[in-house]
Amino acid sequence: MTTLTVPTQPGHDHGLRPVPWRKMAWVTWRQHRPTLISVPALLGAVAVFLWIAGLKVHHDYAAVAACRPFTSSACQALTSSFNRTDWTMANTIDILLQLAPALIGAFAGAPVLARELETGTFRHAWTQGFGRERWTIAKLVLLAIAITAAAEAFSQVFTWFFQPFLGQQSLTVLSATVFDTRGIDFAAWTLVAFTIGALAGMLIRRIIPAMAVTLGAYLGLDLLTWLVLRPHYPLALVTSNSTLFNGSGPSGPSGPPSSPSAPWMLSTWWTGPGGKPANQSVVNQVLALFPHNGGPRVKITPVQAFAQHGITEWWRYIPVSRFWPMQFIEAGWLLALSVLLMAATVWLVRHRAS
Amino acid sequence: MNVIEASGLGKRYGGTWALRECALAIPAGHVTAMVGPNGAGKTTLLNLAVGLATPTTGIVTVLGGYPAGSPAALDGIAFVAQSTPLYRSLSVADMLHLTGNLNRRFDRGYAQARLGELGIPLKRKTGQLSGGQQAQLALTLALARRPRLLVLDEPMAMLDPLARHDFMATVLTAVADDGVSVLLSSHVLAELERVADYLILMSAGRVQVAGEVDDLLACHRVLAGPAAEAAQYAARSRVVHARSGQALAHLLVRTSGPTDPVPPGWDAHPVSLEELTLAYLRAPDAAALPGPVQARNAERAEVAK
């Protein structure tokens, strides 16, 4: 048998030009056409619905807001009708929307690598000249951008739709279920869900289990953020000046008034004279004076009642004016986490291929 | 140039070694058959060579020294995996376009002409092709990359005899036209015997025999003689496999060449490739690598250090 007469020396091809990145655009589009069409299409369909429903909502809301005098029975009927129909629908959509990023992560993120691994096609894809790390990076980045952009556009429509309901049920832009549907937070959560899905798919190598794990991991992270992390973003203020809060002022345990500009109350505590912690039994005595704790109707505010005992009430709160800093903090760490998860996925593709 | 060179190569999955202490140097320009029973480590060795798996121990280089899986290695090697995985929902044309986009070189004209000859419609989804057509498509995609080494893992396991013949014809045409080196694995030697001129025999995660078919045949022979003397003879020479009857014993022995003297009272016969393979497979411990390959690898390992 012949041997090659001109042996190729290693090093000759070291200047090998890699296959250009743009070539992966077509590959990604062709392979993920169902995802790239269905995610924007579904979000778009819901957005169209929100737009149509939103016109009615805004119309109804304008009628309620313009109705004078407020206390008339006609106005009360308008308000109760608004609460019964519009608010019920909006609240349902808002709650379902909490699941949207998780579903996008499970259905669009998890199969990206799991399908290749489950069907064995990775053996074809990863032995081509493009190189498997670059292949993974190109796919994940392109899909992530498309999905995140669709989610951001959608959240703008929802934000407009939901605007009249701020103030309902003490909802403000900082409420858990409102905060993560607007600004840049919804897009950031969708991105992180997608990257969780991609990593789970690479780790588990099977589509269905990877989807289940994605849903679980996303909900876990969501709850952790809502219950533990978000109150600790370094934006909270501390005050004992109750007049900062508009109207009658908050009264600690009685909660903030129902207004779209009410701050997010994180905690309240009491100090006695000289700044020492207040005697808890005295605090309880004072609190028992007020109707919401089962006490009689009294003429003074809680602040005044505490002052009579030399006790100062303190609040830790985040004003709604800090909405955007809150958004940037949350979207920032979610973006960092997404990059980390993508890097971990690429690392696994490189080191644990077969 | 060696298209594949390995030293101390091992791969462990969990607690089991799929491949151990593999030393190998396959020169360019051969059609190499890698034969062994299921679970012998053939797929593991191929995965390591094409860069899909990373070694637990040792190193493997390809195409004259490139690390397996490096850009230059990926560029020069085309791999058709076992049961030829294709994107089933893509059409044949999309599969061509996709593979073309993933490589620096892709001879679309060749691929289309080849598929035309085979009567594989470009518009059909790959999932709707027959097993033989899928194998031919995977092979065409690989050859259109104009590789220097074509690696095929159990390429004919799923094919009927006619499809096997057509598949091998395509491979051999590429060998004749482009001088591409080929490495293919199988657990059946019969289908490779006619085409392979280099043999690698694997069993239980080790390379048992490696060498050019002609050399291997030249330095093995069957001796037939009195059974009573068999044990005595076996003690003095390298017997791969012994088969004894009442009076007559057949010994498959390794010699230093065709001129080795035959002991008095014994007859020597040349050995067929199938006999040789079966003898080694029946005696997994008895055999070893032909000397020269090991020696060459050992020298290289020294130089590498």
Q: Quick check: B55 pLDDT over 60?
A: yes
Residue A11 lies in a domain: no
Q: Which residue has the tokens 């064995």?
A: A120
pLDDT for the residue numbered A325? 96
Domain match, B175 and B249 both? no
Count of CB contacts below 8 A, A vs B?
119
**Structure confidence by residue, pLDDT tens digits, B252-290:** 888 876 677 787 888 888 888 888 888 888 877 655 455
Structural domain of A63: 23-234+323-351
A117 touches chain B (CB under 8 A): no
Q: For chain A, 354 residues long, give each residue's pLDDT as a single digit of tens.
A: 444 444 444 444 556 788 999 999 999 999 999 999 999 999 999 999 999 999 999 999 999 888 888 888 988 899 889 988 999 999 999 999 999 999 999 999 999 999 999 999 999 999 999 999 999 999 999 999 999 999 999 999 999 999 999 877 788 999 989 999 999 999 999 999 999 999 999 999 999 999 999 999 999 999 999 999 999 999 999 988 776 664 434 444 334 445 788 888 898 888 888 778 888 888 888 888 776 666 666 677 777 788 888 888 888 999 999 999 999 999 999 999 999 999 999 999 998 766
Q: Which contiguous run of DSSP H or E holds residue B94? A: helix B92-101
CB contact under 8 A, B97 and A17: no
Q: Which of B79, B87, B105 is the closest to A31 by Cβ?
A: B87
CB contact under 8 A, B74 and A129: yes
Residue A5 lies in a domain: no
Residue B92 lies in a domain: yes
Which residue of chain B comes nearest to A116, CA vs CA? B87
ipTM of the complex: 0.88
A1 touches chain B (CB under 8 A): yes
CATH number (domain holding residue B100)? 3.40.50.300
pLDDT for the residue numbered A329? 97
pLDDT for the residue numbered A293? 63
pLDDT for the residue numbered A55? 96
CB contact under 8 A, B47 and A31: no
Q: Which residues contact A199 (CB under 8 A, 6 or more apart)?
A: A341, A342, A344, A345, A348
In whole angstroms, give the CA distance from residue B177 to residue B29: 12
Chain B residues with CB under 8 Å of A119 CB are 85, 88
Chain A residues with CB under 8 Å of B1 CB are 3-4, 7-8
Domain match, A182 and A199 both? yes
Domain match, A346 and A251 both? no
Residue A6 lies in a domain: no
Domain match, B204 and B262 both? no
Domain match, B151 and B85 both? yes
Chain A residues with CB under 8 Å of B11 CB are none
Domain match, B278 and B207 both? no
Domain match, B206 and B233 both? no
Domain match, A286 and A143 both? no
**Structure confidence by residue, pLDDT tens digits, A143-169:** 999 999 999 999 999 999 999 998 777
Which residue of chain A comes nearest to B83, CA vs CA? A120
Nearest to B222 by CA among B266, B277, B286, B283: B266
Domain match, A155 and A83 both? yes
* Cβ atoms of A150 and A40 closer than 8 Å: yes
A27 touches chain B (CB under 8 A): yes
CB contact under 8 A, A19 and B179: no
Domain match, A308 and A335 both? no
Q: Looking at per-residue confidence, does A353 or B75 come out higher?
A: B75
A133 touches chain B (CB under 8 A): no
Residue B289 lies in a domain: no
**Structure confidence by residue, pLDDT tens digits, A244-269:** 664 434 444 334 445 788 888 898 88
**Residue B299 tokens, joined:** 């020298």
The stretch B124-131 carries a mean pLDDT of 94
Q: Which of residues 29-68 of A touch B (CB under 8 A)?
A: 30-31
Around Cβ B7, how many Cβ atoms within 10 Å?
A: 20
pLDDT for the residue numbered B296? 44
Q: What is the DSSP string of B9-49?
A: EEEEETTEEEEEEEEEEEETT-EEEEE--TTSSHHHHHHHH
Q: Which contiguous run of DSSP H or E holds residue B71? A: helix B71-76
Structural domain of B240: 220-284
Q: Looking at per-residue confidence, does B248 or A11 come out higher?
A: B248
**Structure confidence by residue, pLDDT tens digits, B135-153:** 999 999 999 999 999 999 9
Domain match, B205 and B233 both? no
Q: Which of B71, B79, B145 is the closest to A16 by Cβ?
A: B71
Chain B residues with CB under 8 Å of A347 CB are none
When mean pLDDT is compared across A182-186, B47-51, B193-197, the lowest value belongs to B193-197
pLDDT for the residue numbered A292? 66
Residue B164 lies in a domain: yes
Domain match, B125 and B238 both? no
Which residue of chain B comes nearest to A118, CA vs CA? B85
pLDDT for the residue numbered A271? 87
Mean pLDDT over all residues of chain B?
87
Q: Which of residues 97-116 of A touch B (CB under 8 A)?
A: none
Burial B120-148 (b: 16+ CB within 10 A, else e): beeeebbeebeebbbbbbbbbbbbbbbbb
Q: Quick check: B172 pLDDT over 50?
A: yes
Q: Which of B28, B74, B90 is the closest to A127 by Cβ?
A: B74
Domain count, chain A: 2
Domain match, A67 and A108 both? yes
pLDDT for the residue numbered A259? 75
pLDDT for the residue numbered A93? 95
CB contact under 8 A, A16 and B51: no
